[in-house]
Structure 1
Amino acid sequence: MDYGSIKELIKIINSSDLTNFEMEFDGVSLKMSKEGNGTPKTSTTKEIKAVEASKLEYISESKTEQVIEEPEVKGGTYVNSPIVGTFYTSAGSDKPAYVKVGDKVKKGDVLCIIEAMKIMNEIQSEIDGEVAEVLVSNEQMVEYGQKLFRIK
């Protein structure tokens, strides 16, 4: 985590209702808390603790909420995006979606289109199965390797 990222976090926490914030990432522990005047007090340490680095813990005065960034591991095979681009569920706004949850698919069936540099790339299923989850929304930007579908 670089200085710019820490500075951005301070701005976000300062403008929020949170009074305390703790985060551990790559062995760096970051703790911020607001005092009575709303000014954040920040400290960082180079400690590795037992808490997993992928967890963020938000602490407010009355409740604690944990957010885990990693998705729950579920059965099935994930179809990942082979490119960066815009995800489309169908060939056009007036056309039905290629697949939806519950649909049976076969190897080679088109699941979606990803537009990259004005080229429409059809993403095909590599296995036979049933669409268990669609993990992105229509017209959403996707990254290389991002999970798009779960097929079981």
Structure 2
Amino acid sequence: MDIKEIQNLIKFVAKSGASEVKLEMDDIKITIKTGSDDKGESTTYVQQIPMGQAHVAQAPAPVAAPIVASAPAADENSKYITIKSPIIGTFYRKPSPDKPMFVEVGTSIKEGDVLCVIEAMKLFNEIESEVSGKIVKILVDDSSPVEFDQPLFLVDPS
């Protein structure tokens, strides 16, 4: 199951109104719990079970769908959109060490453009833009660890 399928599952569960969904397959367990308040937030835990060691529990890694959210209400940043990390892992600004950066400050982007990759459990996940605009600020250094929902980029949508 790849990150896109997990994100689609999270969106589906959030829209369905279910409070909790558990999915277990051969090598993966997913639990999605939606918030009981009116925010519509959801929490997802993905747990991979090593082959042949199904009885050993690993710490679940939180993963969730929202990649784009409104910027904080700070005066100077209120007109920008914040693109946040959908997963925890290591943030990379380029596809490989010998390739150019995906985006720089001032780069115009459109929906579907790859902004960066985040390595999680030896898988490189391309993070695509869900908005069009211009990169105003890059908030994370290359090769840095990132947390779920950590701001990565500020985008001016105008």
Give the TM interval when normalised to the shorter protein. 0.5 to 0.7
Separation in structure 2 between the aligned mates of residue 103 and residue 89 of structure 1, nearest angstrom: 13
Contiguous gaps of at least 5 residues in structure 2: 1-71
User: Hey, what does 1:14 align to over in structure 2?
Assistant: none
Residue 92 (structure 1) aligned with residue 96 (structure 2): yes
Separation in structure 1 between the aligned mates of residue 105 and residue 143 of structure 2, nearest angstrom: 18
What's the CA shift for 1:121?
0.3
User: Hey, what does 1:150 align to over in structure 2?
Assistant: 154
User: Hey, what does 2:49 align to over in structure 1?
Assistant: none
What's the CA shift for 1:139?
0.2
Separation in structure 1 between the aligned mates of residue 124 and residue 138 of structure 2, nearest angstrom: 19
Contiguous gaps of at least 5 residues in structure 1: 1-69
- Over the residues paired in the alignment, what is the CA RMSD in angstroms? 1.5
Separation in structure 2 between the aligned mates of residue 115 and residue 71 of structure 1, nearest angstrom: 30
What's the CA shift for 1:71?
9.3
Separation in structure 1 between the aligned mates of residue 73 and residue 84 of structure 2, nearest angstrom: 14
Give the match's secondary structure for 2:126: strand
Aligned residue pairs, count: 83
> Which structure has the bigger radius of gyration?
1
User: Hey, what does 2:131 align to over in structure 1?
Assistant: 127
What's the CA shift for 1:148?
0.2
Separation in structure 2 between the aligned mates of residue 135 and residue 71 of structure 1, nearest angstrom: 17
Q: Normalising by structure 1, report the TM-score.
A: 0.52
Q: Equivalences for 1:1-152 in 2 at 5 Å?
A: 72-73=74-75, 74=77, 75-152=79-156
Give the match's secondary structure for 1:82: coil
Separation in structure 2 between the aligned mates of residue 77 and residue 114 of structure 1, nearest angstrom: 20
What's the CA shift for 1:72?
4.5
Separation in structure 1 between the aligned mates of residue 122 and residue 94 of structure 2, nearest angstrom: 16
Instruction: Point out 4+ residue stretches in structure 1 off by more than 6 angstroms.
Output: none
What's the CA shift for 1:127?
0.5
Q: Letter of the aligned partner of 1:135 in structure 2?
A: L
